[in-house]
């Protein structure tokens, strides 16, 4: 028999590989579906590419690649037998559970046992060879099979492994002596006592000193004052202040030079006034700010806790498992795949996408979008329990409706690849992820239907010079409407004033704060605040040819098919940690925005001349202008000073928030903390500054603006095109670059002198290009918009629970077939009381009967 198997495998030996370091083995999830070894047909792992395929997709891979040898994995799940006492017999380690898999089912591990089965399958005849079969298989095949079975999860590199090492109890924990010096640690506003740094701050458990760290593994940086303090005092243990929660905290031993466990941490913290056992935790594991009494009812109201919600099953009612702070992704994708255009683009074209997918479909955006859409809409992963199972559960008085949901690990790994925030396991902002996903959809929709067109609209910006009253109209692309929250317009203002007075009084008297009062904001007030004129900083009036005061108003030049409304609940606190405003907004079910339609240039208005600010070519020895206040704000967050200076410079002194985003995007670069090198303005492809051509200067964007964008990695010709199309507005130019990726190829085909050739009409052409965006048929290169009436109906909203975007939990509510449903991770139920007033992002669809 051994000879027979060896001869059988000889023709296929060149295609069988042993996984090498760096190879990813997908043995728990199909590349095209959410089938797993627990599925009815099991999972087939290619012994060459190590991709996993469900039963309905393995034939496609065989036909496409000619690869014939697959390992078939099947996990059989069954209920444990019960003993005489009625209890479950403990599972024996009998060698039949050998797959290193994460269970996809929500079975209780104590009540079920698992038996794993593996075999080699040779296509196309489906010849099966049971495993293990060491004596009869060639050595190479046996080694390859063992390596596949023992391979780690392909997502291990993206998951935090800081908890995998066994942390030891510190030898100082039991004998630690704490000083009776009266130190009490406040619940917020911590900063280093020596350098006032607010990030990576540690509390010494002996004397209560609050000092910054430098040695901690998370790379948050610091000046090492906590370590210096240990060298001076020999006080060994310190705890990181922002990690304290009811389950423990991060404790470091300077003496043992490693992270340690402190079994007496609650007592040690209580010595300094920190009662960790009283702190409230969010469901996702993040603690809330302990200087605000967490309103438990927020979580109950938004999740509709305490109500007997009825689970629903079938197409469109499939939940998404939480991978650990991935609810921002789940809620966003649930809403997107309830939109017909997204369903049609990915699920409707599923067979074409799958047939033309690359050899590694796990790295193809359209394939993974189609896979996710089908998983949510097919109903295959949302089936009600069998009647016999329900009867058995009721008889055992342990009836619990099981909803499996799908696990989006492969999808999350792909869409977050290379992103410093979304690739982490931290909680993120659903609004930022929506824009990130739209950007990915745009990039991957070349030559095919772009479903994100349904969100795209044009905003008309009217800027008026306050001195001459002249105006300028321009347009930009946007994808959602951000509504400010005017707290001064609260309908319960008197109640808020009384609460604030009581809170300050309690704080002064060291008493517990009163029950928080939520501000009730009329939606009309938010809409009014959106339409108010705003000042334009550093406005340059082309009529005066000098800086002047200017005001800007924004209106809709077009209305999208789907309007996304974001309530700007999040802001930055004094410590630069995102905070959330505790507000309730009376969101309408129907929204009419027609009165905000842009009107363009009005009779009697005089346009500002089409002149650009003069190009100022600084001397090489002149230091660049940098907003030092923004630099210091960033430096206080623990970033290197030179990196902060570069961030502020390369974002054009546009504020600490934009500079912070630049830092996040560039912090992995090798020269991140190197001194700022000012770009030269005497580049060879520019006209000589001593003999400038007037027409060339008029058409050429400011060199400083070009340098800022090229420093972000964009090609020079692309940045010039973007600046020309957006009237040299840096922020809008960035948006233009991301929404016009195809223009880069066109620009490369142009001659290098096109940027600097005199062209009196180039600036006016940019204006004409912008104006033509109102009618997409006029210019194929303009942004595609689907204009129509501005009347909408609410069909979905995403809500956030927690104190900031860095913590908490997201759920979404959607209206389908005339009824509201709640999507809370893997659970999908009928909603009894949808909390529309506490939402964060609202999704409206255009009314068809307008």
Active-site pick, 30, 46, 212, 327: 327
Return the SS3 of 166: coil
Distance from C-alpha of 38 to C-alpha of 407, rounded to nearest angstrom: 13
Report CA-CA distances (Å) from 180 to 44, 109, 112, 271: 65, 48, 53, 9
Return the SS3 of 448: coil
Integer-rounded Cα radius of gyration of the chain: 31
| 850 labelled catalytic | no
Dihedral of alpha carbons 445, 447, 448, 454, sign: positive
Q: What is the 3-state secondary structure (H, E, C) of 289-305?
A: CCCCCCCHHHHHHHHCC
The residues facing 811 across adjacent strands are 799
The residues facing 477 across adjacent strands are 458
Beta strands in 583-726 (DSSP E): 583-585, 590-592
Report CA-CA distances (Å) from 518 to 503, 505, 616, 798, 838: 14, 19, 51, 19, 10
Cβ(35)–Cβ(373) under 8 Å? no
Residue 646: which H helix or E strand, with range? helix 641-650
Residue with tokens 């040779």: 122
Distance from C-alpha of 100 to C-alpha of 84, rounded to nearest angstrom: 32
Produce one character per residue of 670-700: b if its CB has 16 or more CB atoms within 10 Å, e if not. eeeeeebeebebeeeebeeeeeeeeebeebb
How is 198-238 classified by DSSP, letter by letter? Answer: -SSEEEETTT--EEE-S--TT------HHHHHHHHH---EE
How is 452-512 classified by DSSP, letter by letter? Answer: GGGT-EEEEEEEEETTT--EEEEEEEES-EEEP--GGG-TTHHHHHHHHHHHHHHHHTT-P
Non-local (6+) Cβ contacts of 847 within 8 A are 590, 789, 791, 792, 793
Q: Angle 289-434-480 (CA atoms, 0-180°, nearest 5)?
A: 100
Q: Which two tokens stand for residue 487?
A: 């707290």
Active-site pick, 809, 812, 813, 826: 809
Return the SS3 of 780: coil
Non-local (6+) Cβ contacts of 655 within 8 A are 627, 630
Return the SS3 of 329: helix
Distance from C-alpha of 98 to C-alpha of 102, rounded to nearest angstrom: 12
How is 86-154 classified by DSSP, letter by letter? Answer: SPBPPPP--S---------S---TTTEEEEEEEEEEETTTTEEEEE--TTTS-HHHHHHHHHHHTPPPT
Distance from C-alpha of 310 to C-alpha of 313, rounded to nearest angstrom: 10
- Crossing angle (nearest 10°) for helices 656-666 and 628-635: 50
Report CA-CA distances (Å) from 812 to 4, 582, 654, 678, 839: 58, 19, 34, 47, 9
| 327 labelled catalytic | yes
Q: Which two tokens stand for residue 3?
A: 């000879």
Active site residues: 327, 809
């Amino acid at each position: 028999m051994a000879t027979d198997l060896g001869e059988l495998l000889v023709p296929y030996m060149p295609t069988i590989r042993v996984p090498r370091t760096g190879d990813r083995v997908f043995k728990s999830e199909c590349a095209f579906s959410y089938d797993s070894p627990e599925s009815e047909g099991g999972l087939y792992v290619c012994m060459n590419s190590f991709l996993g395929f469900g039963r309905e997709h393995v034939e496609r891979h065989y036909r496409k690649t000619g690869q014939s040898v697959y390992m078939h994995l099947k996990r059989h799940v069954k209920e444990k037998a019960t003993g005489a006492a009625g209890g479950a017999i403990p599972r024996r380690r009998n060698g039949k559970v050998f797959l290193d898999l994460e269970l996809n089912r929500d079975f209780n591990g104590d009540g079920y046992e698992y038996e794993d089965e593996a075999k080699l399958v040779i296509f196309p005849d489906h010849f099966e060879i049971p495993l293990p079969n060491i004596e009869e298989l060639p050595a190479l095949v046996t080694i390859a099979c063992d390596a596949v079975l023992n391979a780690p999860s392909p997502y291990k590199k993206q998951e935090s492994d800081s908890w995998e090492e066994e942390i030891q109890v510190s030898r100082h924990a039991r004998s630690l002596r704490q000083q009776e010096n009266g130190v009490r640690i406040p619940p917020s506003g911590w900063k280093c006592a020596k350098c006032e740094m607010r990030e990576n701050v540690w509390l010494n458990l002996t004397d209560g000193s609050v000092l910054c760290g430098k040695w901690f593994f998370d790379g948050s940086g610091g000046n090492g004052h906590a370590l210096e303090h240990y060298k001076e005092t020999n006080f060994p243990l310190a705890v990181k202040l922002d990690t304290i929660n009811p389950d423990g905290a991060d404790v470091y031993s300077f003496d043992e030079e490693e992270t340690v466990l402190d079994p007496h941490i609650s007592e040690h913290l209580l010595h300094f006034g920190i009662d960790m056992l009283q702190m409230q935790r969010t469901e996702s594991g993040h603690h809330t700010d302990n200087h605000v009494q967490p309103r438990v009812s927020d979580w109950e109201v938004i999740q509709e806790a305490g109500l007997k919600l009825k689970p629903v099953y079938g197409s469109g009612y499939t939940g998404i498992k939480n991978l650990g702070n991935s609810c921002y992704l789940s809620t966003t994708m649930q809403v997107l795949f309830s939109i017909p255009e997204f369903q049609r683009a990915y699920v409707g074209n599923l067979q074409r996408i799958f047939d033309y997918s690359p050899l590694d479909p796990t790295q193809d955006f359209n394939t993974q979008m189609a896979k996710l859409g089908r998983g949510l809409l097919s109903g295959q992963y949302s089936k009600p329990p069998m009647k016999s199972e329900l009867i058995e559960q009721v008889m055992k008085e342990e009836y619990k409706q099981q909803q499996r949901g799908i696990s989006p690990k492969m999808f999350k790994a792909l869409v977050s690849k290379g992103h410093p925030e979304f690739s982490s396991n931290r909680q993120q902002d659903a609004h930022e992820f929506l824009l990130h996903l739209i950007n990915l959809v745009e990039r991957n929709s070349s030559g095919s239907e772009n479903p994100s067109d349904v969100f795209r609209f044009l905003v008309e910006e009217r800027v008026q010079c306050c001195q001459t009253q002249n105006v300028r109209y321009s347009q930009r692309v946007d994808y959602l409407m951000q509504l400010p929250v005017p707290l001064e317009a609260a309908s319960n203002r008197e109640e808020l004033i009384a609460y604030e007075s009581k809170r300050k009084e309690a704080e002064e008297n060291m008493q517990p704060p009163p029950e928080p009062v939520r501000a009730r904001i009329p939606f009309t007030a938010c809409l009014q605040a959106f339409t108010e004129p705003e000042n334009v900083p550093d406005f340059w009036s082309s009529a005066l040819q000098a800086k002047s005061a200017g005001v800007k108003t924004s209106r809709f030049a077009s209305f999208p098919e789907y309007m996304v409304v974001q309530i700007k609940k999040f802001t930055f606190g004094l410590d630069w940690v995102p905070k959330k405003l505790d507000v309730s907004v009376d969101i309408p079910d129907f929204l009419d925005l027609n009165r905000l339609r842009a009107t363009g240039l009005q009779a009697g208005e005089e346009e500002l001349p089409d002149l650009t600010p003069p190009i100022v070519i600084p001397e090489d020895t002149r230091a660049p202008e940098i907003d030092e206040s923004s630099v210091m704000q960033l430096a206080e967050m623990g970033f290197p000073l030179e990196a902060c200076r570069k961030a502020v410079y390369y974002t054009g002194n546009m504020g600490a928030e934009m500079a912070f985003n630049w830092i996040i995007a560039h912090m992995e670069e090798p020269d991140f903390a190197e001194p700022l090198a000012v770009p030269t303005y005497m580049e060879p492809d520019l006209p000589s500054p001593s003999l400038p051509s007037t027409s060339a200067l008029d058409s050429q964007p400011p060199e400083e603006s070009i340098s800022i964008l090229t420093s972000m990695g964009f090609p020079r010709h692309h940045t010039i095109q973007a600046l020309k199309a957006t009237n040299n507005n840096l922020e809008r130019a960035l948006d233009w670059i991301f929404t016009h990726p195809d223009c880069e190829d066109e620009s490369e085909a142009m001659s290098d002198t096109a940027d600097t050739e005199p062209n009196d009409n180039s600036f006016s052409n940019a204006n004409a290009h912008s104006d033509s965006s109102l009618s997409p048929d006029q210019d194929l290169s303009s942004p595609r918009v689907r204009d129509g009436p501005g009347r909408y109906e609410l069909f979905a909203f995403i809500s956030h629970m927690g104190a900031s975007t860095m913590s908490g939990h997201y759920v979404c509510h959607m209206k389908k077939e005339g009824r509201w449903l709640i999507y809370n991770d893997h659970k999908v139920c009928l909603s009894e009381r949808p909390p529309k007033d506490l939402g964060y992002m609202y999704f409206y669809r255009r009314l068809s009967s307008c």
